[in-house]
Amino acid sequence: MGAVFRSGRLLEVIFPALCPACDGELGGARVGLCEGCVGQLLPLAGPGCPSCGRPVSGMEEFCLDCLESPGPGDRGLVWGEYQGVLRRALLALKHGGHDELAPLLADLLSAALSTCSWISKVDIVTAVPSHPIHRIRRGYSAAELLAQEVAKRLNMKYSPILRRRGLRRQALRSRSERLSLGSKDFVLRREARVKGFNILLIDDVLTTGATMRRVVGLLRRADSGKIFTAVLAWSAPSGSWG
């Protein structure tokens, strides 16, 4: 009887695996999202700004923000809008411990990246690092998992070249010091080599773009080559880079 209870089959009957996006039963040995939810994962319908990847309207080639000042990287891609199933899947990955969703979401991003004219120029794939407290809470970083899976699919080198400063170091500073810290909340890892390398920087969600700009600024100061950005979901319907 003990062997039966230990069997995965019986556990499946008692606790069927559920789709993290709709709570429906996944069924069989399926991992990730249910078929219905996968069908609702849709990329941006129209063209994206070549500089930042956000959708552009009308006949504009670049978005208004990138026309005013250059985008964060040299070229950028945004896969979809942060809503519906994509939003729920990302929340499950980022906060629900559903790291099994990373390969599925990386499939989407890497398929889109493989059609970009610049993708062959990339030397290193890396991620915008999440705050250490999130990593401790979840045990992983959603953006790093995505970046690793994307690199695997594109046969490219993944390297964790960036680090985000932790709470302890920040907590030792006064409020005014913390505010003036600005772009210094990200640092290059000691062993990182970026000089002259073209870098693909991956993040899960783009909100104002301020974080991406800070990281890109750091890489530029370290004399990196071209910087490309790829984000799974864009969340601001009409905001600007903050």
Residues in contact with Zn ion by the rule CB under 5 A: 19, 21-22, 24, 34, 37, 49, 51-52, 63, 66, 71
Please, which residue, 71 or 129, has the CB nearer to Zn ion? 71
How far is 49 from 43, CA to CA, in rounded Å? 14
Q: State the nearest-atom distance from the C-beta of 239 to Zn ion, in Å.
A: 12
Q: State the nearest-atom distance from the C-beta of 128 to Zn ion, in Å.
A: 17
Give yes or no for a contact between 125 and 154, defined as CB atoms under 8 angstroms apart: yes
Element (H, E) at 35: helix 35-39
**Integer angstrom CA distances of residue 108 from 39, 119, 214:** 12, 15, 26
Q: State the nearest-atom distance from the C-beta of 179 to Zn ion, in Å.
A: 28
Question: 3-state DSSP call for residue 211?
Answer: helix
For residue 71, report the phi and psi dihedrals to the nearest 5 degrees: -65, 175
Please, which residue, 76 or 129, has the CB nearer to Zn ion? 76
Radius of gyration of the chain measured on its C-alpha atoms: 20
Q: State the nearest-atom distance from the C-beta of 222 to Zn ion, in Å.
A: 23
Give yes or no for a contact between 33 and 104, defined as CB atoms under 8 angstroms apart: yes
Give yes or no for a contact between 199 and 171, defined as CB atoms under 8 angstroms apart: no
Q: State the nearest-atom distance from the C-beta of 21 to Zn ion, in Å.
A: 5
Please, which residue, 84 or 225, has the CB nearer to Zn ion? 84
Q: State the nearest-atom distance from the C-beta of 36 to Zn ion, in Å.
A: 5
Query: Apex CA 62: angle with CA 59 and CA 63, to 5°?
Result: 95
Q: State the nearest-atom distance from the C-beta of 71 to Zn ion, in Å.
A: 5
Please, which residue, 47 or 184, has the CB nearer to Zn ion? 47
Give yes or no for a contact between 194 and 223, defined as CB atoms under 8 angstroms apart: yes
Please, which residue, 69 or 176, has the CB nearer to Zn ion? 69
CA atoms within 13 A on the CB side of 239: 11
Nearby residues of 137 by Cβ (< 8 Å), 6 or more positions away: none
Please, which residue, 71 or 80, has the CB nearer to Zn ion? 71
Please, which residue, 84 or 166, has the CB nearer to Zn ion? 84
